[in-house]
Chains A and B, each alone.
Chain A
Amino acid sequence: MNKDVSLMAHLMRRAGFGATRNELEGYLEDGYEATVDNLLDPGESGHMPDDIIRRYHVDQSELRQLDGAGAYWLYRMLTTSNPLEEKLALFWHGLFATGYAKLNQARALLNQIEMFRHYGFGSFRDLLVELSRDPAMILWLDNNENHKEAINENYGRELLELFSMGIGNYSEDDIKECAKAFTGWTLGNAEYMSVRASKDSIWPYGRIAWHYEYRADDHDGGEKKFLGKVGNFNGEDIVDIIVTQEATARFLSTRLFQYFASDEVDSDGELVISGMMEAYFQSGYKVSAVLRSLFNSDYFKSDKCMYSRVKGPVESVVGTVRLAGTYQEPTLDVHSLWAQTMFMGQGLLAPPTVEGWHEGVEWIDSGSLVERINFAAKELSDPTKDGVKDIIRRVTSNQKDLSDPEKLVDSCLDYMGPIQVQPDTREGLIEFAESQGAVQIQNGQPDENASIQVARLIGMIASTREYQLA
């Protein structure tokens, strides 16, 4: 297996949703570090145009309900030319987990995701300020109930505990002072919007979208003491203090490491995280610098890092569909793809709590595993799908015969990833290939039966344990 191809495939499984061989060949022309740079600073991304989506899918034009909104984001993931933009937005969505259940406002969630796209690579300071102004977050953590005369600590607490520093790095008093600084940060027409949200009201004319509003008369302008500093702090000042903390650099770097590199952090991982923290401070808190430090580290490129993460359900669905080459234009049943993410335990735009999803091996239980395998196998064992056709074409081209099942299995593994599998998995695949009989090639072309045989083998590879690892 070619090492460069293998490394690039690894990068794209982590910084994206996997890549087809065509895509890999393009990235390989640029080289590894240039690809990292392009992923981190891609400019305007290409994807299925909004007008095309909105004309076809009325629900994705209105974005009133969760399923349509989830499908809308999936289209972006499935067709984007910059997969890291979406992968990182998905990371922020898990970290700053905001869900539909309490808000009943899908558009506000998608506006939040758009904010992640816009600010997600830049300064962590700007991102936290925008997060604090985000209407969905404000209602999700009750900051619309955080008043000058009666504070509500919910957002202040989670900002410190779950979004920036982690528990043990601040006091209960810091939480209170933080909450005071964010009084008056609310959403427009907060009273009406919160009644509508609580009743899931769509009447009379569908939902009304939300926007941020600062109410100066409801802001506590008094002196506050926060993390040892004293002043008449407003929310931005609090964020300014938070981002200078070592705990913040460690928290952010560790979470990015776990999402992009490895579920577990060992001593080698700690060294990488130290480098990421350094990049954080040197760059003025830039997320792209932290990620560049990670992707270019020897650890990230090592065998140890490869296949050390369990794919999340959304990664798994999007990666499979991208490989199959389907849903590249508006498709009637796309909302059922969103439903798949729900069945597999990661309903997009519907995290279970503010803590997000429990990741790593916790993604896998017997029910969700069956969903994953069934989905991937069905999607990839269909020889009529463009992406599957391309794999079959590559596997069979320039072959006089494919009667050697070992060669056939290795070739399929190569063009599907490459995917590395354990020896016992490979044995099982070879047995399966043998049981189908030799694949017949005539004049360099597979006949219909040969295509079906190769597609079945591709589907079988999609059912392996290794296919679920990134």
Chain B
Amino acid sequence: MVNTNTLSIRYLKTIGIVNNGFNGRGFANPYDVAFGPDGEIFVLNRCDPARRSAIRVGVCNLAEEYLYEFGYGFGDGDGQMTLPVAMAFDAEGRLLITDEHTSRVNIYSNKGDVVSKWGVKGDSEGEFNGPAGIAVDSAGLVYVCDQRNHRIQKYTSEGKFLSQWGVRGSEPGEFNLPWGIGVDISDNVYVADWRNDRVQKFDSSGQYLETIGGSGEGSLNRPSGVSVDRNGNIYVTDWGNERLQVFDSNGKAISSMRGEATLSDWAKDFFESNQDEMETREISNLNPDIPDHLNTPYHISSQTESYFWGPVSVRIDSNNRLYVVESNRHRIQIYEIE
């Protein structure tokens, strides 16, 4: 629980369990979430090449009902994905998914039907080299982090190129392998400028406004995702520090969280039928002191089950709930913002 004068962030629950297969509830290296019109939570499962047959989108809800899943296999055929990174619903309720290997955006209906796709590999206008984060503004325009071209591109939801900004570099307005992207209620654009260890804020035309988390308190280490709530507070999955870093609307660091995951209903079901694991777990200290040589955020998170580990995305639903997606723990921690 985090309380400041203006903001309270309360842990609600965890959803998830590891599941490599295309066979029902559970996630495999989830990379992003998006929210459907009827309370559905869409979860993008990136998987890894060795277990790639399970590449898919799983759909559940806050009550942890697993509703359905869809995927068309690993590859570059229609509807297929190779290295999916992020997703967002467009203004027509279609799901857009970026793929950094095929350098395209796949479009699906919210039931998972293949609709269309756009993008080819390249560095010209309208081409991608490793598209990563994706966000849609209030006018339905789409912003994509074009990772290895170190720029942001802006499109219509049909994939018509509108504009671009940024080049490789570390000065304001420049990028180094940008990852996540978010927009606020005024359609300002926030970019997790991953290898520059900062978030940059732009207006919707790409005019640079300010840098967040670049130094001092709350300074970021390889940020992966960024979202902004209706009051302008900024939430960043600080991937290299294995934490969620929160800034107020002025960019001042106001909170830092390591995570407090509990057992999901699916996890509880697992232990119901695996009592030997539950009994030995109950006598364990799952918040251990870590020896010095493993005393880094990454190693600590690898040993501390409740902490964020591999936080790759943060998104906020229409009910002001915050979702932190953890690739390495195959789950989503959910918080309520007040």
Q: Nearest A residue to B224 by beta-carbon distance?
A: A55
Give the residues from 174 to 196 in chain A that come closer than 8 angstroms, CB to CB, to chain B. 188-189, 191-192, 195-196
**Is A217 in the interface zone, CB < 8 Å from B?**
no
A65 touches B50 (CB 8 A): yes
Number of A interface residues in the complex (CB < 8 A): 39
Stretch at the interface among A92-100, A203-211, A234-242, A460-468: A203-211
A58 touches B46 (CB 8 A): yes
Q: A204-B267, A209-B302 are in contact. Are A68 and B293 (CB under 8 A)?
A: no
Number of B interface residues in the complex (CB < 8 A): 51
CA of A58 to CA of B310, assembled, Å: 9
Contacts of A199 in B (CB 8 A): 274, 276-277
- 0 or 1 for each of A45-70: is its CB under 8 Å from B? (1 = yes): 00000010011111101110101100
**Is B328 in the interface zone, CB < 8 Å from A?**
yes
**Is B115 in the interface zone, CB < 8 Å from A?**
no
Q: How far is the CB of B205 from chain A (nearest CB, A)?
A: 29
Most chain-A CB neighbours within 10 Å: which of B50, B194, B264, B284?
B50
Q: Which of B195, B240, B267, B327 contacts A203 (CB 8 A)?
A: B267
A115 touches B293 (CB 8 A): yes
Q: How far is the CB of A342 from chain B (nearest CB, A)?
A: 13
Q: How far is the CB of A338 from chain B (nearest CB, A)?
A: 9
Q: Which of A201, A203, A209, A332 contacts B49 (CB 8 A)?
A: A332
**Is B94 in the interface zone, CB < 8 Å from A?**
no
B270 touches A204 (CB 8 A): yes
A333 touches B49 (CB 8 A): yes
CA of A188 to CA of B267, assembled, Å: 22
Q: Which of B51, B263, B277, B283 contacts A201 (CB 8 A)?
A: B277
B294 touches A111 (CB 8 A): yes
Contacts of B303 in A (CB 8 A): 188, 208-211
B16 touches A205 (CB 8 A): yes
**Is A363 in the interface zone, CB < 8 Å from B?**
no
Contacts of A208 in B (CB 8 A): 286, 302-303, 305
Q: Which of A59, A189, A203, A212 contacts B291 (CB 8 A)?
A: A212
Q: How far is the CB of B19 from chain A (nearest CB, A)?
A: 9
A206 touches B179 (CB 8 A): no
**Is B111 in the interface zone, CB < 8 Å from A?**
no
**Is B151 in the interface zone, CB < 8 Å from A?**
no
**Is B290 in the interface zone, CB < 8 Å from A?**
yes
B288 touches A192 (CB 8 A): no
**Is A118 in the interface zone, CB < 8 Å from B?**
yes
B17 touches A204 (CB 8 A): yes
CA of A208 to CA of B328, assembled, Å: 11
B48 touches A192 (CB 8 A): no
Contacts of A188 in B (CB 8 A): 285, 288, 303
A332 touches B101 (CB 8 A): yes
Contacts of A21 in B (CB 8 A): none
Q: Which of B82, B177, B264, B283 contacts A204 (CB 8 A)?
A: B264
**Is A335 in the interface zone, CB < 8 Å from B?**
yes
Give the residues from 232 to 263 in chain A that come closer than 8 angstroms, CB to CB, to chain B. none
Q: Nearest A residue to B331 by beta-carbon distance?
A: A205
**Is B12 in the interface zone, CB < 8 Å from A?**
no
A-B contact pairs, 10 of them (CB 8 A): A55-B194, A59-B51, A63-B302, A111-B294, A192-B281, A201-B277, A204-B263, A204-B270, A205-B18, A211-B291
7 more CB-based (< 8 A) A-B contacts, given A58-B46, A59-B49, A211-B303: A58-B310, A62-B328, A195-B280, A204-B267, A205-B261, A208-B286, A209-B299
